[in-house]
Each structure stands twice: as C-alpha cells, then as structure tokens.
Amino acid sequence: MLTLTGDDLIVTLDPEQGGRISSIVAFGEERLISELPRPSSWGAFPMIPWAGRIQHGKFTFDGVDHQMPINHPPHAMHGIAYTSEWQAVDGHTMRLDLVDPWPFGGHAIHSAHVDGNTATFRLEVHAAEHPMPAMAGWHPWYRKPVDLSFTASTMFVRDSEDIPTGQVLEPPPPGPWDDTFTGMSRSPVLRWPDGVTAVVSSTCDFWVIYTHPDHALCVEPQTGPPNEFNTSPRVVEPGSPLVAEMTLVFTR
C-alpha cells in the first residue's frame, strides 16, 4: 500500500490490487466503495490499455486481427490493468508491464500527488518497440448517498449491446445513465450529505457516467469512447506515451 496524506485528505494506492486507488478519505469519511469480491466493482481502478468495452473483444490493428478475453459477456471490458499486480516504483508511483493477453507489449505508469485537499492522478501508456492502439482512464466507485451535477453538450447513443452507434444526442437527456458524454463545459461536482464536495476535472475529453447502482456512483474520465479500437483508435508511438490526468478537489 502507498499512502499519501494532505490536510483533510488521505489517498491510498494498492499496487497488488490492480494499481488502483483503493481509498480516498476526505474530511474523515471514506468516499470510495471499499474492497469487494469483484475487482471491477470497488475503489478507483485504472482502465488500461483500453477503457470501457471492445465489442466482442475483437479489433484489427495494422492489418492483424486480435481477440481479447471476454470478461464481461459479450465484450472485453476495462482492459487488463485492474486485474494485474503492479510494482511500486516509489511512494506515489506504480508501474505495470503489459503482457499477455495484450499482444503489443509496452508498460503503464500510475502516479498520484496530494497537496492540501487536492489529489492529482496521472496515467501513462508507453509503447515498446512498435506503435500500438491505446486508451486510458479511471473507473471510480464513489459512495452513495451523493449528488452529482455536471454540464455536457453531447451524449453518445448506445445500441442493444451498449456499444456507441455513432449517433449523438444534443443536449443529453436526464438520467439515470450508463452513458458516454463529451463537451464537458462544467466539471462534475459530487456533493455528500455531510457537506463535503469534490470537483472532478481531467485532461480526458470523454466521460462515462454510471448512476444505476443503489450504493455507488461512477464518474469515469477516459481518453476515448467505448469501442474506440474499432472506430478511430488512438495510436501510441514508442517514446511518445498516451497521458491522462485526473484531479479531485475536496472542500467542506
């Protein structure tokens, strides 16, 4: 475990459990869902080397077909990093070498910094010797009861398999949601009943908002929409990593 402490903020990273943010205690209360049996349902885990769904786990890159394991039938979901054991590099940084079933190699870095009541997180996805497709993002599970407010211009339309169709809705309809948004003109704000708020900002242009569970709320910044590997994949070149950042500012 790696623990970072600020004024009224304690952030814990867990290299052994998927390199995730396992705990955020702000103003004396835990703000994330604690450990549960399924690795996809707690903390705030990094989604690498893809975020969200790859339809049926299949994609083609540079003329070669690839099949990722189906871990959320009928799709491959959230990458391989959150079920892997990372290595601590120092007191605030973790590293993961990307190996099978990922066919391209490379490695990932997840780091965190706490200053006062602000936590900043950074993900890097590095290619090895050859270009590869890549995505990155975080999947936080914030504890309910919590209110959410944000302003986005666009929401992606999903098909019956929860894959974006290419169509969008402008403006987005009201929730509940399990949807992807862009054009975030006002950062998501979380408000708990004890008067604590968290403003979530990110360098990512895409946000998945998941409000259905009774116990948790997910606000997921990511570098691309679900199934991006089959639409317009971002290509990472050796020596030029994909970088994403997320910042949480807590106040009371």
CA 158 to chain centre: 19
Structure token pair of residue 208: 């998945």
Rounded CA separation 144/227 (Å): 29
Inter-residue contact 179 to 152 (CB < 8 Å) = no
In the chain, count H helices and then E strands: 0, 24
At 132, give phi and psi (nearest 5°). Answer: -155, 160
Structure token pair of residue 46: 């990094």
> What is the fold, at CATH topology level, of the domain defined by 2-142+213-251?
Beta-galactosidase; Chain A, domain 5 (2.70.98)
Query: How large is the average pLDDT for residues 84-107?
Result: 97
Beta strand extents in 106-205 (DSSP E only) = 107-115, 118-126, 132-133, 137-140, 142-143, 147-158, 164-169, 178-191, 197-202
**Is residue 35 over pLDDT 90?**
no
Rounded CA separation 11/4 (Å): 5
DSSP 8-class letter at 239: T
Summarize pLDDT for 161-198 with one digit per residue, the tens.
Answer: 999 999 999 999 999 999 999 999 999 999 999 999 99
From the list 26, 7, 19, the residue with the least C-alpha distance to 96 is 19
Question: What is the β-pairing status of strands 29-30 and 20-26?
Answer: antiparallel
Q: Give the Å distances, CA to CA, from 83 to 8, 17, 19, 131, 249.
A: 30, 7, 9, 24, 28
| Cβ within 8 Å of residue 44, ≥6 positions away | 20, 21, 24, 32, 138, 139, 140, 141
Identify the band that residue 85 occupies on the pLDDT scale cut at 50, 70 and 90.
Answer: very high
Give the CA radius of gyration of the chain: 17
Enter the pTM of the model: 0.96
Residue type at 57 in one-letter notation: G
- The SS3 of residue 178 is strand
Mean pLDDT for the chain? 97
**Is residue 213 over pLDDT 90?**
yes
**Is residue 44 over pLDDT 90?**
yes
Summarize pLDDT for 94-103 with one digit per residue, the tens.
Answer: 999 999 999 9
What pLDDT is recorded for position 37? 81
Inter-residue contact 102 to 80 (CB < 8 Å) = yes
Inter-residue contact 41 to 35 (CB < 8 Å) = no
Summarize pLDDT for 106-150 with one digit per residue, the tens.
Answer: 999 999 999 999 999 999 999 999 999 999 999 999 999 999 999
Rounded CA separation 140/236 (Å): 25
